[in-house]
Structure 1
Amino acid sequence: MKNKLLSYDEVYRMVRQHCLLRFPQQADCHPQITVNAYLKNAGSSLHAPAPGLNFSHRTDDVISEFDRFIICDQDREALFADIADMVRWMAENDYLQSGGERESVYYPSDKLLRSPTLVF
């Protein structure tokens, strides 16, 4: 893992949660969109910027360890890379089915629906 906070399983669960929140529709699993869905679901008022853009926030917006982590540009970029790698792995291993429109758009497969974690 490139990021220093989340494990493989936690990144998997982040992507899975994003897909299930959109189910039965397709989900755009672009890393920025996935992180922002996770932040929103966790009750954070932060919004992660696109790669290469600066993060702006108020001090009182930071409420969790993940918020503090995601503010650092290098940490966020590492997590984005891990999410992209995880989504690719999930698609290659039948957890995600292509949505057809763009390479980051997927439908959850039955395998994803039945697998809440990678730790078996």
Structure 2
Amino acid sequence: MLCEIRNRVALITLNRPEARNALSDQLTPALRRMIRQCGGDTSVGALLITGAGSAFCAGGDVKGMGSNAAKAAAPIDERIADLRIKQRTLTGALVGLQKPTIAALPGTAAGAGLALALACDIRIAAESAR
């Protein structure tokens, strides 16, 4: 993930273009922390979230979901509940901000990526967005 502040706008870029910016166990908490950090920074007036490459965010990183043996052994209900909590706390971090949030969609926003875009106040979509 990349973040830079330009003209009081925090430009947060999901930077996993090889995975279509899928949310992983590392990216999701890092994004949540960055949203909160920028939200509390008085030099930031707004947040803009985008994705590197041709996608905004393809959703959850399905390949990584089964990589943790302990999590994979948990009952499906527990795994689904865990994913819901992760998504709710991520979108909740955006919804709870007192600053404008913008999603700039260069391409696909699917699953959790669509929820992320919808949690922003404004969405700007390129012609290639889906």
TM interval, shorter chain, is: 0.3 to 0.5
Q: Counting strand residues as a fraction of each chain, which structure ranks higher?
A: 2
TM-score by length of structure 2 reads 0.33
Which structure has the greater CA radius of gyration?
2
